[in-house]
């Protein structure tokens, strides 16, 4: 049909995929109705980075009970009427069921059942990303109906397959991403039929929009290489490179924080914390390269314009006296991200039979997804529908009930995961407001940590108050 030849390609890990090589075409009479062809010539995209860090006795680590105390969750749980899932891509290695069971035991959390597994699954050689995702979404969104979904291909293929499935979870977390401008970067394949990265992004965004209309909240890691992005780790470019799908206006993008001055006095200290110092509180700041070895992705889309739900929050930031990158480096009228943030450094997971610390916005996204499941439970108990596309709700809540978010006003995303260079540009958390000779940091949205991190008890108070 495509007048082309297919070959088997093998990556360095021995994974095999079939793709065409050379030219391909479609009949001219179909030219006006075919927008693009996926899964034929596109190769796998690199995923969002997950650090496996060395254990250090002096460090403070994050376990599910840390999240419960820091985000004011306490004994609040979700329910089986609320459903949640993590999405992995490109036939990635899965989690180990033995590791998952041990993690529940070591963190003193109720054992969860993964009720639905979709797509390829092999836990023989467990993957850090998959392990982190499933261990934290299940222990934050306790008692929810759990899904684990593997997509063999990339974002567009997933979005179509997911939308067309008869049954889907109410909340999903995606910890994968790549440059918005580089969705067609692995070869000149997209241009064969007149398709470029912007077309790929726009078409996939339509599918994300449809998923939101079905009532599913899509949470996405904002990226681990700051405002410059992974494709420009040395900051040699003359623009910033937003991440996709983090910069989609139809997903909730999640940035990362770290603790400064952490305290280790957990109310209920699980067995794993007998060997490691587990945090119970502290001041949240944006993750930094010096501490976490990555910075939180954030900035402005070059493809999609700013949606109405965030206009007021973003304009307030841009009109403040905060120092911004040169105007030519970013599209100030584009969709701004991230929307929210959560802790993303020094998470303890149990993988391949041992404890391992890791970090990244890949930790922040499943954590916030579990919190959305808690909020969905409250809405369902009130006879309301699940949140669905969450951003209009989150920005409205931040405006009407600021206590629902812990504002983060310290940090930036100027560095990349490769380090810092004098040529690196980026954004700062908080807004600098000048009054005569005084300068202070005011609360509000910023392109590093979004609206801030969650105060779950206050979020629930807002939801219950709106029901009257």
| CATH code for the domain of 364 | 3.40.50.200
Average pLDDT over residues 142-166: 95
The per-residue pLDDT for range 270-284, each reduced to its tens digit, is 999 999 999 999 999
**Is 9 a domain residue?**
no
DSSP letter assigned to residue 386: P
Q: What is the dihedral of CA 365, 172, 177, 129, to 10 degrees?
A: 70
**CA-wise closest residue to 254 among 195, 177, 358:** 177
The per-residue pLDDT for range 396-454, each reduced to its tens digit, is 999 999 999 999 999 999 999 999 999 999 999 975 444 444 433 456 899 999 999 99
**Is 291 a domain residue?**
yes
Q: Which domain holds residue 194?
A: 46-466
pLDDT confidence tier of residue 26, bands split at 50, 70 and 90: confident
Considering the chain, what is the average pLDDT of its residues? Answer: 90
Name the domain count of the chain: 1
CB atoms within 10 A of CB 444: 22
pLDDT confidence tier of residue 47, bands split at 50, 70 and 90: low
Q: pLDDT above 90 covers what percent of the chain?
A: 74
Q: How far is CA 268 from the centre of its chain?
A: 28
For residues 131 and 104, is the Cβ–Cβ distance under 8 A? no
**Is 1 a domain residue?**
no
pLDDT confidence tier of residue 25, bands split at 50, 70 and 90: confident
pLDDT at 115 over 70: yes
Between residues 378 and 19, the one the model is more confident about: 378
Element housing 164 (H / E): none
Between residues 12 and 368, the one the model is more confident about: 368
The CA distance from 389 to 265, in Å, is 36
**CA-wise closest residue to 126 among 81, 173, 94:** 94
Q: What are phi and psi of 106, to 5 degrees?
A: -70, -25
- What single string gives the DSSP state of each residue in 215-283? T-EEEEE--SBTTT-GGGTT--SSS---EETTT-TTSEEEEEEEEEEEE---SS--GGGGTS-B--EEE
- Report pLDDT for 16: 79
Exposed/middle/buried for residue 18 (C-beta within 10 Å: 0-12, 13-18, 19+): exposed
pLDDT at 157 over 50: yes
Q: At what angle do helices 456-466 and 391-400 cross, to 10 degrees?
A: 90
Q: Choose, from 129, 145, 304, 417, the residue flagged as catalytic.
A: 129
Would strands 354-359 and 51-52 be described as parallel, antiparallel, or unpaired? antiparallel
**Is 35 a domain residue?**
no
**Is 176 a domain residue?**
yes
241-245-247 Cα angle (round to 5): 55
340-343-346 Cα angle (round to 5): 155
Question: Over the range 222-259, which residues count as b (16 or more CB within 10 Å of their CB) and which as e?
Answer: bbbbbbbbbbbbebeeebbbbbbbbbbbbbbbbbbbbb
Question: Over the range 383-403, which residues count as b (16 or more CB within 10 Å of their CB) and which as e?
Answer: eeebbbbbbebbbebbeebee
Beta strands in 31-151, from DSSP E residues, in sequence order: 51-52, 83-89, 114-118, 145-151
**Is 24 a domain residue?**
no
Q: Choose, from 362, 364, 365, 373, the residue flagged as catalytic.
A: 362
Q: Does the annotation count 133 as an active-site position?
A: yes
Q: pLDDT above 70 covers what percent of the chain?
A: 91
Average pLDDT over residues 323-328: 95
**Which residues have C-beta within 8 Å of that of residue 264, sequence separation ≥ 6?**
60, 273, 277, 278, 279, 280
Q: What is the dihedral of CA 175, 177, 209, 375, to 10 degrees?
A: 20
**Is 195 a domain residue?**
yes
- Report pLDDT for 433: 47
**Which residues have C-beta within 8 Å of that of residue 56, sequence separation ≥ 6?**
none
**Is 17 a domain residue?**
no
Q: What are phi and psi of 183, to 5 degrees?
A: -65, -20
For residues 416 and 228, is the Cβ–Cβ distance under 8 A? yes
Q: Choose, from 88, 92, 127, 133, the residue flagged as catalytic.
A: 133
């Amino acid at each position: 049909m495509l007048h082309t030849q297919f070959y088997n390609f093998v990556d360095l890990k021995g994974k095999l995929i079939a793709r065409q090589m050379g030219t391909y075409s479609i009949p001219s009479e179909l030219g006006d109705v075919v927008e693009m062809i996926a899964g034929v010539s596109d190769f796998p995209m690199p995923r969002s980075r997950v650090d496996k860090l060395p254990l250090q006795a002096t460090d403070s680590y994050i376990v599910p009970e840390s999240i419960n105390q820091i985000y004011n969750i306490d004994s609040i749980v979700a329910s089986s009427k609320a459903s949640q899932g993590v999405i992995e891509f490109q036939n990635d290695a899965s989690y180990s069921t033995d590791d998952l069971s041990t993690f529940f035991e070591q963190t003193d959390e109720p054992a969860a059942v993964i009720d639905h597994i979709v797509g390829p699954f092999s836990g023989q050689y467990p993957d850090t990303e998959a392990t982190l995702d499933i261990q934290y979404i299940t222990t934050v969104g306790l008692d929810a109906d759990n899904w684990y979904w593997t997509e063999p291909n990339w974002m567009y293929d997933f979005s179509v397959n997911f939308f067309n499935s008869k049954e889907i979870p109410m909340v999903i977390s995606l910890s994968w991403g790549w440059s918005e401008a580089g969705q067609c970067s692995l070869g000149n394949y997209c241009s064969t039929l007149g398709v470029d990265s912007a077309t790929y992004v726009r078409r996939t965004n339509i599918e994300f929009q449809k998923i939101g209309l079905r009532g599913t909240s899509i949470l996405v890691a904002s990226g681990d290489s700051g405002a410059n992005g992974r494709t420009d780790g040395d900051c040699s470019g003359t623009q910033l490179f937003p991440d996709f799908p983090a910069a989609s206006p139809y997903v909730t993008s999640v940035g990362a924080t770290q603790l400064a001055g952490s305290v280790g006095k957990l109310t209920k200290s699980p067995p794993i914390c007998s060997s490691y110092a587990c945090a119970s509180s502290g001041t949240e700041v944006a993750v930094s390269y010096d501490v976490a070895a990555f910075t939180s992705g954030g900035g402005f889309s070059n493809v999609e314009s700013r949606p109405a739900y965030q206009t007021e929050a973003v304009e307030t930031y841009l009109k403040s006296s905060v120092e911004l990158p040169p105007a030519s480096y970013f599209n100030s009228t584009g969709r701004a991200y991230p929307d929210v943030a959560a802790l993303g450094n020094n998470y303890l997971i149990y993988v391949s039979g041992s404890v391992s610390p890791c970090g990244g916005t890949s930790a922040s996204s499943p954590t916030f997804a579990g919190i959305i499941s808690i909020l969905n439970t409250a809405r369902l108990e009130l006879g309301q529908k699940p949140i669905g596309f969450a951003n209009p709700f989150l920005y409205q809540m931040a405006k009407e009930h600021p206590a629902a978010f812990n504002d983060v006003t310290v940090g930036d995303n100027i560095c990349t995961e490769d380090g810092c260079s004098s040529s690196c540009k980026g954004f700062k958390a908080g807004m600098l407001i000048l009054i005569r000779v005084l300068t202070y940091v005011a609360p509000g949205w910023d392109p590093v940590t979004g609206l801030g991190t969650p105060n779950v008890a206050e979020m629930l108070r807002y939801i219950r108050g709106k029901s009257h």
